[in-house]
């Protein structure tokens, strides 16, 4: 697969391993809610609203972070959250306990690319701001398809790089600093989705400035 310029999509530049991701979010955990929570608020609300509308009760939130989305889920949804960062999970657990969120069933430290859940464990999976963080995004999507029941709902919210223009140049310039900032600014849809996925997906641009997109997929039976 290639981008608009015909360049083969072999993955984002400056790949991050799990240790780099943990280190990045350990640095950011203190101020994460204040700066990223605000920027990503609209996209988070839209994603959780889509979860709440979707049929089924069992929900997997991948990259639960500090638990900013946890209070937004309908009480009818039974939510399991996973994250690679133990520091983030400490805040998520404290949030769930403080708010008395009884529909949060588990918050576990786990690699989103290789979870320990059995096949077809969930009705819905939502991955917010995760795809451009994991080392192998295609494995992430394959894992979501594995753990979601056939006919279930897969939702992703993420930043996807532009194909051209001044913002594209900024994204390319920031790419070598991926390990430091904790995500890939040059991440594109082709790094995670096959053409068939994109054809079937519903993609909605999110404010501010279309910085994020909400992607909705039905998990087609294999």
Q: 117 lies in a domain?
A: yes
Report the CATH number at residue 146.
Answer: 3.40.50.150
pLDDT per residue over 78-94, tens digit each? Answer: 999 999 989 999 999 99
By residue count, the chain amounts to 222
Query: What domain range includes position 51?
Result: 18-218
Question: How close are the terminal C-alpha atoms of the chain, in Å?
Answer: 22
Reported for 192-196, long-range contacts at CB under 8 A and 24+ positions apart, including other chains, are: 192/131, 192/137, 192/138, 192/140, 192/141, 192/156, 193/141, 194/1, 195/1
pLDDT per residue over 20-43, tens digit each? Answer: 555 555 555 555 555 555 677 999
Q: 11 lies in a domain?
A: no
Beta strands in 85-174 (DSSP E): 104-109, 122-128, 148-158
pLDDT per residue over 156-210, tens digit each? Answer: 998 886 554 444 434 443 333 344 434 444 577 888 999 999 999 999 998 877 7
- How many domains does the chain divide into? 1
Distances (CA, A) of 151 to 79, 169, 222: 19, 39, 10
Q: Quick one: which of 212, 13, 28 has its CA closest to 129?
A: 212
Q: 1 lies in a domain?
A: no
* Cis, peptide link before residue 15, omega less than 30° from 0: no
Q: 10 lies in a domain?
A: no
The answer to whether the predicted template modeling score (pTM) of the entire model surpasses 0.85 is no
Q: 66 lies in a domain?
A: yes
pLDDT at residue 9 is higher than 50: no
Distances (CA, A) of 83 to 57, 72, 93, 134, 196: 20, 18, 12, 11, 28
pLDDT per residue over 95-125, tens digit each? Answer: 999 999 999 999 999 999 999 999 999 999 9
């Amino acid at each position: 697969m290639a981008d608009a310029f015909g360049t083969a999509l072999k993955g984002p530049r400056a790949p991050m391993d799990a240790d780099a991701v943990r280190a990045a979010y350990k640095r950011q955990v203190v101020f994460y809610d204040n700066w990223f929570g605000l920027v990503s608020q609209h996209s988070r609300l839209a994603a959780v609203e889509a979860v709440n509308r979707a049929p089924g009760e069992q929900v997997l939130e991948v990259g639960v972070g500090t638990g900013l989305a946890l209070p937004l889920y309908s009480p009818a949804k039974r939510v399991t959250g996973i994250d690679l960062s133990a520091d983030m999970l400490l805040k998520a657990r404290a949030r769930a306990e403080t708010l008395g969120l009884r529909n949060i069933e588990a918050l576990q430290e786990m690699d989103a690319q290789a979870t320990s859940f059995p096949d077809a464990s969930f009705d819905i999976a939502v991955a917010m701001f995760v795809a451009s963080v994991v080392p192998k995004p295609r494995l992430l999507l394959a894992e979501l398809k594995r753990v979601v029941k056939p006919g279930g709902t897969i939702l992703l919210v993420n930043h996807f790089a532009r194909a051209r223009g001044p913002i594209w140049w900024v994204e390319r310039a920031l790419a070598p600093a991926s390990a430091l900032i904790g995500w890939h600014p040059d991440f594109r849809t082709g790094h995670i989705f096959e053409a068939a996925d994109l054809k079937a997906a519903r993609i909605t641009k999110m404010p501010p400035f279309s910085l994020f997109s909400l992607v909705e997929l039905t998990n087609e039976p294999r």
